[in-house]
Structure formats: C-alpha cells, structure tokens
Amino acid sequence: MHKTAKPICVFLITLISIGDLIAQNNCQHQVEGWVFEINSNEPVPYATVSIQGTTLGSIADDNGYFIIKNICDEEFNLQLSHVGYKPIIHHHDVYHESPTIYMAPDEQILESIVVEGEAQASDIFSGSISRISSEDFHDVESENLGEALGTISGINMLSTGQNIVKPIIHGVHSNRVLIINNGVRHEFQNWGAEHAPEIDPSLVDNLEVIKGAATVRYGPDALGGVVLINPPPIDLESHLHGEIRITGKSNGRSGETTARLSKGYKRFGLMAEGSWLRQGDLHSPDYQLTNTGKKEISYAGGMRYHLTNWDFEAYYSHFDQELGILRGAVNGNLDDVQNAIENEPPPDTEPFSYDINNPKQKVVHDLFKLKGVYQGTNQSLSFQYGYQVNDRQEFDVRRGTNNELPNIDLQLKTHSLDIDWNHQPWGKLSGIIGIQNQFQDNNNIPGTNTPLFIPNYAQYRIGIFAIETIETSSVLYETGLRYDYQHSSISGREQNNDIFRNQLDFQNFTATVGLRKKLSESLTFRSNLGSAWRPPNVSELYAFGRHQASIEYGLWRYTQDEDGNVTTSEILTEIDRPVKSEAGYKWINTLNISRNKASYEITGYFNYIRNFIFTRPAGITNTVRGAFPFFLYDQTDAIFWGFDYSSKHELARQVELELQASYLWSKQTTGDFFVGQPPADIRLATNYQPNIGWFDQTTIGLGFQYTFKQFQAPRIISIAELNEAYTNDGNIFDDDNSDFDILAEPDGYILTNLSWNSTVGKFEWTLSIKNLLDISYRNYTNRLRYFADEMGRNVSVSISYRL
C-alpha cells in the first residue's frame, strides 16, 4: 500500500510547483472577445466595449469581435452596451479565457450573460454531450430530476410510481449512471431502482449529459454515461438579481414556491435559493392514485471570493423529501399480487388526500463543498473538498407499533477530495491531470426490527487520471488513461444475528480514445471509444431478504447445488465465489449538421458490458404468508446498441419544429432479454412565437410523443402459472432460468402536451397541459405498471417575477 503513496506525493508536489507564479504589472495586457445576440446567436456589430474607470475602449466589428490593448491592470471591469440591448458589466482578469458576451434585447426578460472559454462543464470533447440550457431548463424545473432528464433524446425514465424517477441512459441505470452535482459525485443508495437521486431541479440552473463511458474523467460507475448538474453561477459585479416563482398543478393539487437571489461585489459574490413543495394524491384518468403525495423542502447557499489568480467557492445545499408510494402496490404473497393486478382501480383506493401514509420514503441529503481554483497563465489548478450526508428511510405497511418504524434506515457519509490540473500546453498537447479521493461510511441506523437488507461498510477509493488532446485545424484527437483502487471493509449480520466481516479490494485501469473532426463548415463528427468499470456494489454481494413482493439473495448469500436447490445458511467470500468487476466498452459516434435553418444530431452507440450483474428468478419459496418468487444475483455479459436522433427546423420566421427519436436494442449474450428496457419513441414539438397584444414575448408550444410497445421483452409467466407450478411442486426454473415478466408489455401510446408562455415586463407566466387528451396508458419502464395507470391530464400554471 505504501508503495503507491510515494508517487502520489511526487505527483502533488509537481502539480503545485509548476506554473508561472510571477505576476506581470505593466501596460501590456489585452482582452478580446465576441458579442452575440442571446436568442439568435448572431453577432452584434458596433457594440461598445470599455474598461471601467479608464479611457480605454473599442467597438465590435461586423463579426461581433472586439479587442482592447494596452491595459495596465491584470483585472478590470469590462462594460458592454448597445442601443436596444441590456448593458452588462463583466469582471475579467487576464488569466481567464476570452469572454463571449450574449446580449439580451431590452424588452426581453432575459439578462445579458458572459461566458468564458468553452461553455462546457465536462472535459470530454469527443463524447456525445447533450445539454439542457439554463433557459430551456426553466421549463422543466418544476418536474423531478428524472423527468427533466427524460426530455433528452436517448434518456428514459425508470420510475416507481410518479414520485420516484431516475434516468436510464442508453438502457442502463442506477449504479451504471453517474451523477455529478455541482462538481461533486452525488453519493446515495444508488443500487435500488426505487431510490431516486436527492436533487431538486428547481435549484438547478442547467445540466449536461455525457452519453459515453466517461469513467476516465469521472471515476467508476459511469458505464452508461454521466449527468452533470450545475447550480446557478455566482457572478461578480452584479446587481441584486433573482427570481421568485409560484407553480400550481391540477393533478395532485400541488403547490410549489421557489426563490433565488444573488448579488456580486468586486471580489465577492453571494447566492441563496430555496424551494417548497406540497403535493397530494395524483390521479389517473379514471381513478385516484392513493398515497402518491409528496412533501419537499430544499435550500442552498453559495459564496465566491475572487483574487487575481484565485477563485474560492463555498456551497451548501439541503434536500428533504417525504414521498408516498401507491398504496395498491403493496402486496403480500402471490395471491395478493394477482389480486392487485386484476383489480382496477387498485386495492385500497380512497378519495383525494394530502396525507402520506405507508408505504413511503423519507430522504434527506446535505452537500457541503469547498473549492479553490488557481488560475495561472494557460493553466489552472483546482482543489475541491466535498462532504455529503445521505439519510434514507423506507416504510412498509407493518403490524402494530412496527408500522411507525422504517424497515430500511441507512446513513451514508461521503468525503471527497479532488485535485485537477489543466496543464500548460506541452508542445501540441493540452489536457487535464487529476487525482480523486473518496471515503465513504454506510451505516444501518438501529431500530428497524427488520433483518439488515445490506450490511454496513466503509469504503476508500482513489483514482488518478490524465486526458490529453491534440488539436489541428480540423481535427481534435483525445486520449485518456485512469487507474482506480477501491478498498472496502464490510460488517454485517447473519440471519441469527452473528456478525460477519470481510475486507475487499478492487482495482482497474480504464482508457478512452476519441476524435472530433470538422468535416465541413456545417458538419462535425465525434467518435469516442471508452472503457468503464464498476466494482460490485455491497447490495449486489450481500442483499438478503424480502423487498415488497419478491425475495432477493446477493451473490454471496446463497449456494445452489446441481439440482438447483438453494440454501442461504452460509455467507460466502471471494474465495467461494469470485465476483469480477463489471467492465464496459462503449463506442459512441455523433454527427452534427448545422444548416441555415436546420440543425441535426445523430448518435449511434454500441456498449458491451462484461460481468453484468443482474437478478434472475430461481424459484418459489413457500412461507407461512404464502408463496413468493425469489431472485438470485448473478453475472452475465450484455450488449446494448442503438441510436438517438434530434433535429430543429425553422419552418417560418416564428415557427420552429423539433424532432426526436431513439431506439435501443439490448440482450444478454446468453440470449435473454432484460425486463423493463425502454421501448423506442418519437417526439415532435412545434413552437410558435406570435406577437400578441401587450405581451412582450409569447411562445405557444404543442408536442406529441409516441412510445412504441416494447417488442424485445422476456417471456411471460403469469402469477396463475407461478401459483400452479408451486402447487404442483414443480420448479419451473429448473429447465429455463431465463428472466420473465408477470404481465405482458403495455401497448404503445401517444401523449399530447400544450404550453403557453408569455412575458410582460418582469413577469412571466406559463400555462402547460400535460396529457392533454387525458388518455389512460401504462409505461413499460414504470415498476408499478402492473397495478395502476399513469397520471391523467395535468394543468399547471406558474407565475414568476425576475428582479
């Protein structure tokens, strides 16, 4: 172990000692930049640019380009103004990249903004990256995070009812999708399909999705992709500005208030935001969805302090949520499941209420972050410390006083320390080198009166990576390498409450190669081949027990003899059953075409995952409660391929058309299909911007989404067949233990959405109607699709005021 410590120290010292630390202080500085119109991205010629407090200044040329030379100070305030546009002041220093200014017209609610360098939070250039910009995100921020992400082509939602939604990227989800919130790996109980990320979209400014295997940059788990979530930036020299927003929705009779304020001084900036939400029972077109209410409070605050070469940032956010799960989805044995499936409305349906009863989840997530960035000449060095505490409690319907107790109660604490160095170009090479440390402690909080579903563990991870690029006039080549090491200490209890312990080590190298080539003025091609890995999660190794209507045994909690008989009395180790890390190889290609009045993006991908960990059905066990199917964790190899398409067309001066489509094919190499993989879909949206009376700006949108029936689905074994097999004492999984589903895939459906958005002065209001035609449908990737229809029509009205 100590052998590795030495090179790390050398590495750190090298990082710190490199760099031109001597400041120059004569009148030889200069600044150049570009000025664009915020909506059209067209250059704004003749904009006036000046340095505050001096006589220096310039006028932008026909291309919006300006340059000011002979500046004496290293940092200064850049003033920009133009007739008809909102003026802006930008604090700039010579170490930061050239600014690009987006000017907003006077009559619009948008503010002018400045972007330094390439406006991209990720450092992968050859991967396929989809963004939801700050302005677009505004339209989806009253949804939950999973739904907001689902608006991107190729990303689907894995849901458990309407309140628990997590992203599926190109067919993989949970532990295979990494979420980076505000620069910090969001650490939560990601192993459960019914554990949604604890992030409130109303506090988010914009987000990006990398649809490639971005493990080299972000660490293990990024087999399908990475979601980067960015809070609002904290600007210097900005007036007190912010937004207050109130949203009401008809379905669930929900109300939400969000407020955001920020102010920037010369060296100092502050930001605070908060959100409150209350939602009652939702309803499908035909009946109430009992116990689907939600309560949510979240707030965040950030601070920035700027010195010539340094930027410091402190950030804290808090998220607190209580959500109900459809009452009719609680089942006992197989008979109960069958009864729940056959009954519509679902069992225990009651009139509307704001009450949240069992089954429910209570989650709290706190994030504290400190970051320092040193900006040198053509290089930067950043240090980031993050501390997260994630509390998760899950409540089932239980007998007596146990009903007040959670049956799962976990606390996960995560410390992380990341150091990144964007080095000076070495010849033609430029790139980033970094080291990432993480320490985690996961504990069961005593008092659940339920055998532990997962054991306690402490886990340490370190990763070292380098990503380098060479750019010629038309091609950018990119390559990266990473090494990760993980040590875990595990401590749990057997069924008879005896302690078991284990120490585990995993390590791996990952690599990426890619290119970005400009084929012509309007054509860009990106290709990236990346490897990714993921050590088996503690839950996959040690899960034990009943979770709703099925029973699961982790990889090291069962043994199976030649006749298929399963015993769980012993706890295995890596010697009894070696478990290899999952290793993924994803090749992704993207073609961007931008023509005069249209832009297209076409992405094709192929992902091969070795040692893919999944659950397979292994039998039916009879208990006093009746019969239950049980599932065993196992490993296989799997293939995922597919494509995403999206395009935008300007049909007329005020009419825009957007088209999206995605298709995924996935299978285990043994020939089995997976349950619950997203079916193909097509989306069409039109936006019309008419000039209406006294509104400054109006957008009317009409959207259609067609979701196909999933035709690549595993076999169906109905509950009746399971029951029959059990009664006849036949193990139907002896001959064929391939995966199965208990109900056929739902039919395809078309959803219609309508929205109207207008601004008047500083006010903005939005009316939006989802599922306009109030159709009844079921979503294949909703785990509660067996029991109830999806939500019916939802009319939402929101009013916001910007200052």
Q: Which of residues 396-415 bind other proteins (CB under 8 A)?
A: 397-400, 402-403, 413, 415
How many Å apart are CA 675 and CA 668, to the nearest integer?
11
Per rule CB under 8 A, count of chain residues that contact other proteins? 71
How many Å apart are CA 317 and CA 489, to the nearest integer?
29
CB of 723 to other proteins, least distance (A): 11
Binding mask 327-346 for other proteins (x = CB under 8 A): ---xxxx-xx--x-------
CB of 726 to other proteins, least distance (A): 9
DSSP state of 498: -
CB of 194 to other proteins, least distance (A): 18
| Among 187-195, 440-448, 524-532, 760-768, the segment contacting other proteins (CB under 8 A) | 440-448
How many Å apart are CA 675 and CA 99, to the nearest integer?
49
**Helix, coil or strand: residue 203:** helix
Residue type, 550: S
Residues 666, 670, 671, 677, Cα dihedral to 10°: -30
Q: Supply 425's token pair.
A: 């170009």
How many Å apart are CA 93 and CA 52, to the nearest integer?
13
Would you tell me the crossing angle of helices 334-342 and 719-727 to the nearest 10 degrees?
150
- Please list the residues that pair with 612 across neighbouring strands: 636
User: What kind and span of H or E run contains 138?
Assistant: helix 134-140
Among 77, 100, 377, 443, binds other proteins (CB under 8 A): 443
Select from 100, 94, 112, 119 the least CA-distant residue to 31.
94
Q: Does 213 bind other proteins (CB under 8 A)?
A: no
Site for other proteins in 476-515 (CB under 8 A): 487-493, 495-497, 499, 501, 503
Among 25, 474, 567, 669, binds other proteins (CB under 8 A): 567
Among 182, 382, 436, 450, binds other proteins (CB under 8 A): 450
How many Å apart are CA 347 and CA 336, to the nearest integer?
10
Site for other proteins in 7-66 (CB under 8 A): 8
Among 451, 522, 525, 659, binds other proteins (CB under 8 A): 451
| Among 455-463, 467-475, 661-669, 746-754, the segment contacting other proteins (CB under 8 A) | 455-463
Residue 605 vs 733, nearer CB to other proteins: 733
Ramachandran angles phi, psi of 82, nearest 5°? -160, 145
| Among 117-125, 154-162, 182-190, 444-452, the segment contacting other proteins (CB under 8 A) | 444-452
Q: Supply 95's token pair.
A: 């170490």
Site for other proteins in 606-635 (CB under 8 A): 619, 621-626, 628, 630
Residues 21, 26, 28, 31, Cα dihedral to 10°: 70
Among 39, 134, 522, 568, binds other proteins (CB under 8 A): 568
If one counts every other C-beta atom within 10 angstroms of the C-beta of residue 172, the result is 26
Q: Does 444 bind other proteins (CB under 8 A)?
A: yes
CA atoms within 13 Å, Cβ hemisphere of 462: 7
Query: Measured in Å, how far apart are the chain's first and last C-alpha atoms?
Result: 55
Q: What separation in angstroms does the CA of 199 have from each of 169, 203, 271, 353? A: 18, 8, 18, 25
Q: Does 241 bind other proteins (CB under 8 A)?
A: no
Select from 636, 652, 658 the least CA-distant residue to 579.
636
Q: Does 448 bind other proteins (CB under 8 A)?
A: yes
Dihedral sign, CA of 113, 118, 120, 126?
A: positive
Residue 182 vs 358, nearer CB to other proteins: 358
CB of 296 to other proteins, least distance (A): 25
- Write the burial class of residue 143 (CB in 10 Å: 0-12 exposed, 13-18 middle, 19+ buried): middle
| Among 46-54, 236-244, 324-332, 418-426, the segment contacting other proteins (CB under 8 A) | 324-332
| Residues whose CB is less than 8 angstroms from the CB of residue 562 and which lie 6 or more positions away in sequence, other chains included | none
CB of 228 to other proteins, least distance (A): 24
Site for other proteins in 625-684 (CB under 8 A): 625-626, 628, 630
Q: Does 545 bind other proteins (CB under 8 A)?
A: yes
| Among 14-22, 447-455, 466-474, 746-754, the segment contacting other proteins (CB under 8 A) | 447-455
Residue 407 vs 697, nearer CB to other proteins: 407
| Among 93-101, 251-259, 452-460, 642-650, the segment contacting other proteins (CB under 8 A) | 452-460
Q: Does 460 bind other proteins (CB under 8 A)?
A: yes
DSSP state of 106: T
Q: Does 456 bind other proteins (CB under 8 A)?
A: yes
CB of 498 to other proteins, least distance (A): 9
549 contacts 336 by C-beta, under 8 angstroms: yes
Among 37, 441, 574, 658, binds other proteins (CB under 8 A): 441
Site for other proteins in 361-400 (CB under 8 A): 397-400
Residue 239 vs 501, nearer CB to other proteins: 501
